Amino acid sequence: MKKQTVSHKVFAIVASILVVLAAILGWTAFSHPSASAQSNGRIKVVFWHEMTGPAQQQLIKFSKQFNQSQKKYEVVPEFEGSYNEAVQKIINTHGTDASPAVFQSMDISTSQMHHTGYTTPVQKFIDADNYDVNKISAGARAFYSNQGTQLSMPFNTSQPVLFYNATLLKKLGVTPPPVNPSYSDITKVAKQVMEKSNKKVQGMSVEIYGWLFEQFMANSGASFANNDDGHASTPTASNLTGPSTVNTMKWLQTNVKDGVFANYGAGGNALNNEIASFLSGRLAMFLQSSATTTQLTKGNKDQVGITYYPHPDGQKSNGVAIGGASLWISNDKSAAVQRGSWDFIKFLMTAKSQAEWQAATGYLALNKDSQKQPALLNMYKKLPESRVPGEQLAAAKPNNTNSGIFMQGLIQARNLTQTAMEQIYAGSNIQKALQTAQSSLNGNIKNNNRANGY
Amino acid sequence: MMLTKTHKTLRYLVLVIMAIIIIGPFILGFWTSLLPTADIAKGTLFSTHVSFQNYVDAVQQTAIMRYLLNSFVISVLTMAAQLLFCSLGAYAFVFLSFKGRDFLFYVILATMMLPFEAEVIPNFATVRQLNLLNHYAVMVIPFLTSAFGIFMLRQSFRQIPPELKEAADVEGLNHWQFYWRVTLPYARISLFTLAAYSFLESWNQYLWPMLTTFSDKFRPVQDGLRQLQSQETFNNWGMIQASAVIVVIPTLIVLFVGQHYFKDGLNEGATK
């Protein structure tokens, strides 16, 4: 072995340590990605979204189109995972270089986002530009506004609807449900399907999903929380034990007991199993978000029918709230960046963009003029049922019970309502299950209000 | 000990059954990665529409290649840094005597008792203040050294016969020379094990990168993979499966190459 001097070796080791450290620190200092000034002189507008699949492709396309349409701003779309993850990321990066200029946040985070104080309400830009908001669906706008101020711009919007396998019903000789069905209309169809298929096809299914629970209440005109579902002021208590809610749960439980109802449980796999059963012709009807339309119709030889969300018997439907997410502008960026964010939002809300959005994703076009756009007209021609969710949205007059719940902690609330649904499906006492959920929820609301000093 | 024939067959039968149970999901995953999504959604497992289209889609439509590169950069850096710093730390705990040495070692061991998830909030606040978010640095700097690595290498360094150290002292080797010429070659197997271990550990990171990266430019594979799953809309299961298979390949290579060392190394010190 070659003999080396001591200092040589020491030098080698110390140098290697220094190189590693210097490399890491150097990177951090020089190549930080989130500087707001771009080399090409454009103002960078970072856009955080939570869309995947076709919706993500379409958003990337929109960003490119917007960047080509003007020379001042450059929108950079970045994907941030699930809605829940994104909310945390947005709140925890606020004020750093990494935070977004404009972001998409889910429906039930509205109150939480507003109360962080990290956002500039889009109302400010609507007023400054005299932007005509009446072009945008009133039901969707109402969900994201508070005391007359538009907090964020509704974007990807879906409606809960009922899907049925039209081909299968025809084959069995069962009359499909009407466009705006009542609970007993659904039961009737489900029973006939079971009988005529010799119990080979399940009649109906309602996923254990808090969103659907909320929509049952909305459609029967019942408030989930007091103070007009939080639209008047911060809710202090919830009301899950009202007669209409009990009535709905009774309807579901009876169907479970009669054996015409398939229970797929809760969570992400429940939806996948439900869809798999529906596609393979083992399930005739189910309630789900209209955003699944693409998945249900693509590559499916059977014809799929769509109706409004079911309403209680002997009562007109009050209309359901929307689901999905809206676009917010962060207030930790310069006025120029915020302006760029707003211009991008305006671009996304044009009649043309919205029509293309619905055709590509199944989310509803919110601009009223979109209905005349070729992208949508082509889709309606190919798939006439795809009109139904949009019609349902247009038919509902927004009021305090069908414009969402303006309350924090709705994720926890959904866990509670889902537990209640699970118990009810398993045959528990309805009143008791709902009462348990309500007391826990009231405890949560009280704690939350105390912690925030309301 | 000789085994009777029936004995042997029985043992192999049990082994085969267990192998099937364990490998089953992997084979199923691989098989579905070859099927079109429409067939997967319908549950027709024995479909005849077998193709590599999903792999083509995965490479073309998603940033999976970028994720692989990111993970590779992060894992290699973490591995190199851990080898260097852990071996230096372990050397100090074995061959240097200083006041409070054992106490310091126990303090380091104590950090192993605290799961990383429990430290996430303060760590996040720290990197946020340092403005490191959304960068390779944020996924490398907190993992430059590891308590487990120090512990493992200390155990292996302690097996170096004290006579060697004495002989080295007589020869007039200083600490750096002894570290480089004797300790590292002697503990080669442990170093390989640590290298494989830290590479895989870093490759499989999920929670931390999820919290600290915000763009595809820096996102590692596991998070990239998770994000291929959509919410509310259409899930391209075939493509997701194909991506998962692509992501697993580097892990398998490291495991196959390192298996020999891995097995020896992890048991080392356990019997001492």
Of chain A, the percentage scoring pLDDT greater than 90 comes to: 63
Give the best residue of A5, A13, A27, A79 to mutate against chain B (max B CB count within 10 A).
A79
Q: Tens of pLDDT along B23-47?
A: 999 888 898 888 887 777 667 778 7
For residue range A224-274, what is the model confidence (pLDDT) as tens digits? Answer: 999 989 888 899 999 999 999 999 999 999 999 999 999 998 876 788 888
CB contact (8 A) between residue B232 and residue A298: no
Residue of chain B with shortest Cα separation from A83: B231
Residue B231 to residue A82, Cβ atoms within 8 A:
yes
Structure tokens at A411: 């994720």
- The nearest CA of chain B is from the CA of A1 a distance in Å of 10
Distance from CA of B63 to the nearest CA of A (A): 11
- HSE-CB for A419 with a 13 A CA cutoff: 14
Instruction: Give pLDDT, residue A1.
Output: 42
d(CA A6, CA B144): 27
B98 interface with A at CB cutoff 8 Å: no
**Three-state secondary structure call for residue A429:** coil
Nearest chain A Cα to B173, which residue? A6
Residue A349's pLDDT is what? 95
Q: What is the pLDDT of residue A27?
A: 62
pLDDT in tens, B81-120: 999 999 999 999 999 989 999 999 999 999 888 888 888 9
Q: Decide if pLDDT at B213 tops 80.
A: yes
B163 touches chain A (CB under 8 A): no
Residue A314: is its pLDDT beyond 60?
yes
Q: Take residue B84 and report the two structure tokens written for it.
A: 């260097």
Please state, in angstroms and rounded to a whole number, the distance separating the CA atoms of residues A126 and A342. 9
**How much is the pLDDT for A8?**
64
- pLDDT value at A392 more than 70: yes
* Nearest residue on chain A to B129, alpha-carbon basis: A96
**A29 Cβ under 8 Å from any chain B Cβ:** no
Q: What percent of chain A has pLDDT over 70?
A: 92
Alpha carbons within 13 angstroms on the beta-carbon side of residue B74 total 32
Distance of CA B63 to the CA centre of its chain: 22
Closest-CA distance, B5 to chain A, in angstroms, reads 46
Nearest C-alpha of chain B: how many angstroms from A355? Answer: 17
Contact B131 A82 (CB under 8 A): no
Residue that wins the pLDDT comparison between A213 and B232: A213
Closest chain A CA to residue B218: A33
> What residue spans define the domains of chain A?
43-158+323-385, 160-321+408-452
pLDDT in the model for residue B261: 66
Q: Is the pLDDT of residue A214 over 50?
A: yes
- pLDDT for A24: 63
Residue from the list A9, A13, A276 with its beta carbon closest to the beta carbon of B43: A276
Domain annotation for chain B: domains and CATH numbers: 70-267 (1.10.3720.10)
Closest residue in A to B41 (Cα–Cα)? A276
Are the Cβ atoms of B231 and A50 closer than 8 angstroms? Answer: yes
Chain B interface test: which of A2, A295, A296, A358 (most B C-beta within 10 Å): A295
* Closest residue of chain B to A296, computed from CA coordinates: B234
Mean pLDDT of A324-350: 94
In the structure encoding, which two tokens stand for residue A314, read together?
Answer: 């002997």
CA distance B127 to B137: 10
First to last CA, chain B: 27
| Cα–Cα distance, A183 to A249 (Å, whole number) | 11
Query: What single-letter DSSP state applies at residue B164?
Result: H
- pTM: predicted TM-score of the whole model, two decimal places: 0.80
Side chain identity at B140, as an amino acid letter? V
* Interface contact flag, A6 B231, Cβ < 8 Å: no
Could you tell me the CA-to-CA distances from A369 to A135, A137, A175, A355 in Å, in that order? Answer: 7, 10, 34, 9
> pLDDT tens for residues A70-124?
999 999 999 888 888 889 899 999 988 889 999 999 998 999 999 999 999 999 9
Has domain A43-158+323-385 been given CATH number 3.40.1260.10?
no
Residues 6+ apart with CB under 8 A from A40: A74
Query: B194-208 pLDDT, tens per residue?
Result: 998 999 999 999 989
Residue A7 binned pLDDT confidence (cut-offs 50, 70, 90):
low
DSSP A112-166: HHHHHT-EE-THHHHHHHT--GGGB-HHHHHHTEETTEE-SEEEEEE-EEEEEEH
Q: Which CATH number fits domain A160-321+408-452: 3.30.70.360, 3.40.190.10, 3.40.630.10, 1.20.1740.10?
A: 3.40.190.10
Portion of chain B with pLDDT greater than 90, in percent: 37
pLDDT band at B57 (very low <50, low <70, confident <90, very high): confident
**pLDDT value of position A10:** 64
pLDDT band, residue A39 (cuts 50/70/90): low
State the pLDDT confidence band at B272, using cuts at 50, 70 and 90: very low
Contact residues, B window 191-220, toward A, CB-based 8 Å cutoff? 210-211, 214-218
| Chain A residues touching B218 at Cβ < 8 A | 33
Using an 8 Å CB-CB cutoff, list chain B residues near A273.
Answer: none
Condensed to tens digits (0 to 9), the pLDDT of residues A168-186 reads 999 999 999 999 999 999 9
Gap between the Cα atoms of A77 and B57, Å rounded = 21
